[in-house]
Amino acid sequence: MSKSLNLLVGTAMAALIAAPAMAEKMGLGRPALPEEIAAWDVSVLPDGTGLPKGEGDVLTGEEVFADKCASCHGEFAEGLDSWPVLAGGEGTLQHRRPVKTIGSYWPYLSTVFDYVHRSMPFGAAQTVSTDEAYAITAFLLYSNGLVEDDYVLSNENFTENTLPNADGFYPDDRAESEYPLFSGEGCMSDCGPEVKVTKRAVDLNVTPEDPDGRPAGTLPDIMAAATAAAPASEAQETSTDAPAETTETAAAEVDSELAEAGQKVFKKCAACHKVGEGAKNGTGPHLNATIGRAAGSVEGFKYSKAMADAAAEGLVWDEASLMSFLENPKGFLKGTKMSFAGLKKEEDRAAIVAYLSTLEP
Partner 1 sequence: MSDEPARGASRRNFLKGGAALGAGALATGAVRAEGADPLITEVQDWASSFGDAVDASPYGMPIRFESHVVRRNVEWLTESPVSSINFTPIHALEGTITPQGCAFERHHSGAIELSKADYRLMINGLVDTPLVFTFEDLMRFPRTTVTAFLECAANGGMEWGGAQLEGCQFTQGMIHNMEYVGVPLRYLLEEAGVQAEGKWIYAEGADASSNGRSIPMEKALDDVVVAFFANGEALRKEHGYPVRLVVPGWEGNMWVKWVRRIGVYDQAVESREETSKYTDLMPDGRARKWTWVMDAKSVITSPSPQAPVRHGKGPLVLTGLAWSGHGRITKVDVSLDGGRNWQEARITGEAKPKALTRFHLDIDWDGSELLLQSRATDETGYVQPTKDALREIRGLNNVYHNNGIQTWWLKSDGEVENVEVA
* Measured distance CA(349)–CA(319) in Å, rounded: 10
Tell me the three state secondary structure of residue 152.
Answer: strand
Query: How far apart are CB 263 and partner 1 at their closest, in Å?
Result: 14
Query: How far apart are CB 59 and partner 1 at their closest, in Å?
Result: 25
Site string for partner 1, 68-107 (x = CB under 8 A): ----x--------xxx---------xx-xxx-x-x--xxx
Positions 121 through 160 that interact with partner 1 (CB under 8 A) = 122-123, 125-126
Total number of residues that touch partner 1 (CB under 8 A): 111
Query: How far apart are CB 89 and partner 1 at their closest, in Å?
Result: 12
Of 75, 97, 96, 95, whose CA–CA distance to 87 is shortest?
75
Query: How far apart are CB 264 and partner 1 at their closest, in Å?
Result: 11
Query: How far apart are CB 201 and partner 1 at their closest, in Å?
Result: 4
Q: Report the DSSP beta bridge partners of residue 293.
A: 317
Query: How far apart are CB 48 and partner 1 at their closest, in Å?
Result: 12
Mark the segment that binds partner 1 (CB under 8 A) among 51-59, 187-195, 337-345, 349-357: 187-195
Query: How far apart are CB 283 and partner 1 at their closest, in Å?
Result: 7
Closer to partner 1 at the Cβ: 28 or 252?
A: 28
User: What is the torsion angle, in degrees rounded to the nearest 10, for the CA atoms of residue 167, residue 168, residue 172 and residue 177?
Assistant: 110
Residue 78 backbone class (left: φ over 0; alpha: ψ -120 to 50; beta: rest): alpha
Whether 88 and 106 have beta carbons less than 8 Å apart is answered as: no
Positions 41 through 60 that interact with partner 1 (CB under 8 A) = 41, 43, 45-47, 49
Mark the segment that binds partner 1 (CB under 8 A) among 11-19, 252-260, 320-328, 349-357: 11-19
> Tell me, what DSSP letter sits at residue 185?
P
Query: How far apart are CB 36 and partner 1 at their closest, in Å?
Result: 7
Mark the segment that binds partner 1 (CB under 8 A) among 56-64, 190-198, 295-303, 337-345: 190-198
Positions 255 through 284 that interact with partner 1 (CB under 8 A) = 267, 270-272, 282-283
Q: Using alpha carbons, list the distances in angstroms from residue 211 to 99, 214, 215, 241, 336.
A: 36, 7, 9, 19, 38
Q: Is the peptide bond before 121 cis (omega within 30 degrees of 0)?
A: yes
The count of other CB atoms within 10 Å of the CB of residue 66 is 15
Of 283, 286, 274, 290, whose CA–CA distance to 304 is shortest?
283
* Measured distance CA(200)–CA(198) in Å, rounded: 7
Whether 55 and 131 have beta carbons less than 8 Å apart is answered as: yes
Closer to partner 1 at the Cβ: 7 or 312?
A: 7
Instruction: Choose which of 75, 149, 156, 234 interacts with partner 1 (CB under 8 A).
Output: 234
Which residue pairs, CB below 8 angstroms and at least 24 apart, start in 1-6? none
Of 356, 351, 283, whose CA–CA distance to 318 is shortest?
356
Based on the shown chain and the rule CB under 8 A, indicate whether residue 252 belongs to the binding site for partner 1. Answer: no
Mark the segment that binds partner 1 (CB under 8 A) among 154-162, 178-186, 316-324, 326-334: 178-186
Positions 15 through 34 that interact with partner 1 (CB under 8 A) = 16-17, 21-22, 25-26, 28-32
* Measured distance CA(327)–CA(235) in Å, rounded: 40
Instruction: Choose which of 10, 184, 211, 314 interacts with partner 1 (CB under 8 A).
Output: 184
